[in-house]
Every structure is written in C-alpha cells, then in structure tokens.
Amino acid sequence: MTRLAAAPSPSVRVRAPGKINLSLRVGPVADDGYHPLVTVFQAVALVEEVTATQVAEGAGISLTVDGPQSGRVPLDASNLAWRAAELLAREVGLAPDVALHLAKGVPVAGGMAGGSADAAATLVACDALWGAGLPRAELHRLAAILGSDVPFALLGHTAVGTGRGHLLTPAMSRGEFHWAFATRDEGLSTPAVYGRYDELAATGALVPSADPAQDTALMQALRAGDPTALGPALHNDLEAAALDLRPELERTLEIARNGGALGAMVSGSGPTVAALARSRQHALAIAATWTAEGAADAVWCTTGPAAGARLL
C-alpha cells in the first residue's frame, strides 16, 4: 500500500452529535449472538468535539479529555477515538501518530453514543489531518467496524437503522424538537439489558419483533414536524428490561409525564430518560422538576435533529 504524506495542517477540529433512538425495535437473538434491530435515530445538539494534532513521527497516539464527566472516560486503547485513529492509520498506510483531545458534551455511559460520536469525529479529523481523502462511503465502512452507532454519528440528522443499527437510510424530518434528558452517574450495562430482554421474551412477557411497519405513525409525525404526534409514537423495546434492572427510573418517567411531556421513555439501553417537550422553556421546566425531586444525577436540555460529523 502506498504511504501517504501527512498534510501540513498542524491540527484539525471536528464536531459530532449524540443521538436518541426515537424508536428501537429488537428482534429475537440470531445465531451470531446479535439482535436484528429496526431503529429510528435522531441526532441531537449535545456534541463531542475532537481535535487531532500532528505530532512527531513515532510519537504514537495520545489522548486527553475535558468536559462534564470526563473523569469517567478511558485514556488508552480501549477508547473508541483511539481505536478509530488506529484503524484509519492502518487503512491508509500511515503510522498512527496523533494527539487527540476530546471535549465532552454528551452524557457519559448514558446510551446517547458519546463514544461513538468521538470515533466518528476522529475518523473525519484524522482523514483531514493526514490528507487521506477517503470517500465518505469508506469512512462509513470503517465506522461500522468500530461500532453499530458510529455510522450514524457520521451521518447525523434523522435516519432509520437496520441490521445492528449500522445500515442507514436517511429519513425526512421537519422542524425542531425539544428534549430534556435525565442521566444517572451509575450506568447500565448494554449486554445486561439485552440479556434481561431475552429472559423476558422467554417468559412470553414480550414478543421480539423488528418490523419497520410498526413505526408508520412516528415517521408521519417526523415528516409533518409535529411533536404532539411524535410523543405517543416514541417506542423502546428495551425499556421493560431497563426498568426491571433499575426500577427507580419509573419515577423519573412519571415526573416527566406529570410535567406534561409529550412523550417520555428510557433512551436505548438506559439509564438515560428522554422527555419530548413542547418548547425550550417546557424542556427546562421538566429538567428543573427532575432536579428538585432528586430523580436525576444530571439534567440536559437540547434540540434535534443535528448535523453529523463535520469539520469546524
């Protein structure tokens, strides 16, 4: 493979969004151990910023982090941003020499794909820094290797994901939607949530199904830009399993609903609770009530949809 010359730019900064699953439908576990998914992603304006800086040859990868909950982020090769830099370097025939700095803006371990956003931003940043010039389709292929949510962080906006969630079809969405999020310091293990989901399915308490036709009302609400219609259409097959493991989340949901949320649900595998609000002021009011009632360790308000990974 031809070795590429590094670009002269000393650093590159890229922003990528967190996400919410407006709908998450989970099929029965397949022979490969994965569950087939049909999910509707929406990128939100809680973002990660990655700065990639050129370093001396042979320096390798270094990683620093700042922002909320940054102390919970690993600074070694287990970090998705680190792995993204290594993967891209192998792909283009360069040594992985780069200093990465992550500015956190997405809740950590909250099911909102902050790590995936870091990986997507790192792919775009290192591609530009090293002058690789990979087509966007190639970046998406690499993103899917890193994780199921990474391709959507590249794409952004609103999209339907199938397979493991990595096969994306952009979806039409009008207008702006206002969200409040309640997060917990103690995360929920995604494998544990899926395991409990399988246990509930085995008892007949739920029926696994990944049928996109079940989201017709949700897609119509998005196309119309109608938050009042979107709220009742929000759906998460993993919510029952997450609530079984963390029953205190029921109270967080109840507070949002009593506060007039248009819809409220556990986001993805949890433990974040998402509430769809009528306006920015309404989102702030829901978040304030969560705080006053001690129903969250942190609260966040934002809007969606948001753009995918992009150079700044």
Q: Which of 19, 97, 127, 215 is catalytic?
A: 19
Q: How far apart are CA 107 and CA 302, in angstroms?
A: 12
Q: What is the DSSP code string of 137-169?
A: HHHHHHHHHH-TTHHHHHHBSEEEEETTTTEEE
Q: How many CB atoms lie within 10 A of CB 169?
A: 10
Q: What angle is formed at CA 262 by the lines to CA 256 and CA 263, rounded to 5 degrees?
A: 70
Q: How far apart are CA 180 and CA 18, in angstroms?
A: 13
Whether 104 is a known active-site residue: answer no
Give the chain's count of helices (H) and strands (E): 10, 12
- Whether 194 and 269 have beta carbons less than 8 Å apart is answered as yes
- Rounded to whole angstroms, the maximal C-alpha distance in the chain is 61
Helix segments in 73-113, DSSP class H:
80-92
Tokens of 188: 């929920």
Q: How far apart are CA 140 and CA 152, in angstroms?
A: 9
Q: Which of 97, 118, 127, 149 is catalytic?
A: 149
Whether 149 is a known active-site residue: answer yes
Q: How far apart are CA 269 and CA 126, in angstroms?
A: 30
- Whether 24 and 214 have beta carbons less than 8 Å apart is answered as no
What is the separation, in whole angstroms, between the first and last Cα of the chain? 30
Any idea which residues carry the catalytic annotation?
19, 149
